[in-house]
Amino acid sequence: MEALLAKINRCKICQPHLPLGARPLLQISPNAKILIAGQAPGRKAHESRTAFDDASGDRLRQWLGVSSQVFYDSQQIALLPIGFCYPGSGKHGDLPPRPECEPAWRAQLLSQLPNLSMTLVLGQYAQGYHFSDHHRSLTERVLAWRDQWPTTVALPHPSPRNNIWLRKNPWFAAELLPALKVQVADVLDQ
């Protein structure tokens, strides 16, 4: 794992396409029990070198019912985005993760996580990798959260940009989030 992480930290495969340069950001340990599969670090995370160091992270920790201390403990939770570097921003928010990163590193890293009990998949790009039902929309996939419960759970991205989605889908807070908090607590207590 250490050698693999050293290679990733030196990675420059998408450097020419990154407005702020390559600064891979992930959190991983073979002991991790929960994997949070995200999309790519945002600008603030790129600058602070802390994943989910923003309103999205606050919301995500609230959804999971965990403290920052637990969230940033790599022995408990792995944070593995599809793209490890900030991809830049576009008209409607951050750009998609760079396509070079996932085929270069993801399978190698996932093979180093033997203790996972739960994978939480945030947003459409991560869901495109982790789910084979490509015909489903993000809403349909999240609505079908019981299909692979409790091992793999699709979630919308916790960004404030998704406030409209959250208002349109009250079942998410009423049904999925209470079950998610209980399951996360159970997994972390193992």
The full set of domains in the chain, from first to last, is 2-189 (3.40.470.10)
Closest CA to 160 of 87, 43, 55: 55
pTM for the whole structure? 0.95
Which helix (H) or strand (E) segment holds residue 93: the answer is strand 93-94
Closest CA to 160 of 52, 64, 48, 23: 52
In this predicted model, what pLDDT tens digit does every residue of 86-125 receive, in sequence order?
999 988 888 999 999 999 999 999 999 999 999 999 988 9
Looking at residue 92, its pLDDT comes to 82
User: 94 forms bridges with which residues in the sheet?
Assistant: 89
Which helix (H) or strand (E) segment holds residue 110: the answer is helix 107-110
Radius of gyration in angstroms for the set of CA atoms belonging to the chain, rounded to a whole number: 16
The percent of residues above 90 in pLDDT, for the chain, comes to 94
Q: Which of 92-96, 143-147, 154-158, 163-167 has the lowest mean pLDDT?
A: 92-96
